[in-house]
Structure 1
Amino acid sequence: MTFIGRANELEFLDSCYASPSAQLVVVYGRRRVGKTELLAHFATGRDHVFFSAPSATREEQLAAFSRQMFAAGAPAGRYLRQYPDWERALSDIAELPATSDGSRRLVIIDEFPYLVRADRSLPSVLQHLWDHTLKDSNVMLVLCGSAISFIEKEILSEKSPLYGRATGILKVDPMPYWDAARFFPAYDAPSQALTYAVLGGVPHYLAQFDPDEDVATNIRQRILRRGSALYSEVEFLMREEFREPATYNTILTAVALGATQLNDIAQRTMMPAQALSVYLRNLIEVSIVGREFPVDARPVGHSKAMRGLYRLSDNFFRFWYSFVAPNRSNLEMGDVDGVWRYDVEPALHDFAATPFERICADWLRRRNRQGELGFRTNRIGRWWDGKAEIDVVAVDRSGDHLLAGECKFRNRPVDVPILRDLQTKALRLAGTERSYALFSLAGFTDRLRDLAAQDGSIRLVDVADLY
Structure 2
Amino acid sequence: MVFIGREHDLQQLDECYHSRKSQLVFVYGRRRVGKTETLTHFSRGKETLFFAAQNATREEQLASFSRLMFEAGAPGKDYLRQYPTWESALTELSKLPEPSNGERRLVVFDEFPYLVKADPSLPSILQNLWDHTLRNANIMIIICGSSMSFIEKELLAEKSPLYGRATGILKMNPMPYWDAVKFFPDYSNEEKALAYAILGGIPRYLEEFDPDEPVDVNIKKHILRRIAPLYSEVEFLLHEELRETARYNSVIRAIALGDTSLNEIATHAMLSNGTVSSYLSSLMELGIVEREFPVTAKLKEQAKGTRGLYQLSDNFFRFWYSFVFPYRSELEHGDAISVYERRIAPVLHDFAGKPFEEICREWLWRESIADRLPFHAARIGRWWNRTDEIDVMAVDDSGGHAIAGECKFRNTPMDMGMLNLLRRRAANIGVDDTNCYLFSLSGFDSALADITDPTVRLIGIDELFQ
Give the alignment's TM-score, normalised by structure 1: 0.99
Q: How does 1:373-384 map to 2 (within 5 A)?
A: 373-384=373-384
Match of 2:453 among 447, 452, 455: 455
Q: How does 1:40-51 map to 2 (within 5 A)?
A: 40-51=40-51
Q: What's the counterpart of residue 91 of structure 1?
A: 91
Q: What's the counterpart of residue 162 of structure 1?
A: 162
Give the alignment's TM-score, normalised by structure 2: 0.99
Q: Contact 1:436–1:459 (CA<8 Å) still a contact in 2?
A: yes
Runs of 4+ that moved beyond 4 A: none
AA aligned to 1:60 is E
Query: The residue matched to 1:230 in structure 2 has which SS?
Result: helix
The CA distance in 2 between the partners of 1:73 and 1:11, in whole Å, is: 29
Q: What's the counterpart of residue 366 of structure 2?
A: 366
Map Cα deviations across residues 351-403 of structure 1 (whole Å, 9 max, x no partner).
10000000000000000000000111101110000111000011111111111
**Structure 1, gaps ≥5 residues long:** none
AA aligned to 1:150 is F
Map Cα deviations across residues 226-261 of structure 1 (whole Å, 9 max, x no partner).
110100000000011112212111110111111100
The CA distance in 1 between the partners of 2:239 and 2:371, in whole Å, is: 44
The CA distance in 2 between the partners of 1:466 and 1:74, in whole Å, is: 52
Q: Is residue 2:78 matched to residue 1:78?
A: yes
Q: What's the counterpart of residue 343 of structure 1?
A: 343
Q: What's the counterpart of residue 233 of structure 2?
A: 233
The CA distance in 2 between the partners of 1:56 and 1:357, in whole Å, is: 43
The CA distance in 2 between the partners of 1:299 and 1:107, in whole Å, is: 40
AA aligned to 1:290 is E
The CA distance in 1 between the partners of 2:69 and 2:406, in whole Å, is: 56
The CA distance in 1 between the partners of 2:83 and 2:188, in whole Å, is: 55
Q: Contact 1:29–1:172 (CA<8 Å) still a contact in 2?
A: yes
The CA distance in 2 between the partners of 1:420 and 1:259, in whole Å, is: 29
Aligned-pair CA distance for 1:305? 4.2
Q: What's the counterpart of residue 318 of structure 1?
A: 318
The alpha-carbon distance between structure 1 residues 356 and 261, as it changes in their structure 2 partners (threshold 3 A), is: same
Query: The residue matched to 1:170 in structure 2 has which SS?
Result: strand
AA aligned to 1:464 is D
AA aligned to 1:114 is Y
**Structure 2, gaps ≥5 residues long:** none
Q: What's the counterpart of residue 223 of structure 1?
A: 223
Q: How does 1:209-358 map to 2 (within 5 A)?
A: 209-358=209-358
Aligned-pair CA distance for 1:304? 2.4
Q: What's the counterpart of residue 463 of structure 2?
A: 465
The CA distance in 2 between the partners of 1:37 and 1:349, in whole Å, is: 32
Map Cα deviations across residues 44-93 of structure 1 (whole Å, 9 max, x no partner).
01111000001100000000000011111111111111001000111111
Q: Contact 1:262–1:306 (CA<8 Å) still a contact in 2?
A: no
The CA distance in 2 between the partners of 1:12 and 1:107, in whole Å, is: 17
Aligned-pair CA distance for 1:316? 0.2
Identity %: 58
Map Cα deviations across residues 195-252 of structure 1 (whole Å, 9 max, x no partner).
0000000000000000000000000100011110100000000011112212111110
Deviating more after overlay: 428-437 vs 255-264: 428-437
Q: How does 1:92-171 map to 2 (within 5 A)?
A: 92-171=92-171
Query: The residue matched to 2:324 in structure 1 has which SS?
Result: helix
Query: The residue matched to 1:360 in structure 2 has which SS?
Result: helix
The CA distance in 1 between the partners of 2:118 and 2:224, in whole Å, is: 38
AA aligned to 1:267 is T
RMSD (CA atoms): 0.7
AA aligned to 1:402 is A
Q: Is residue 2:412 matched to residue 1:406?
A: no
Q: Is residue 2:382 matched to residue 1:391?
A: no
Deviating more after overlay: 305-314 vs 204-213: 305-314
Aligned-pair CA distance for 1:307? 2.8
AA aligned to 1:324 is V
Query: The residue matched to 1:317 in structure 2 has which SS?
Result: helix
AA aligned to 1:381 is G
Equivalent pairs, count: 465
The CA distance in 2 between the partners of 1:30 and 1:429, in whole Å, is: 35
AA aligned to 1:144 is C
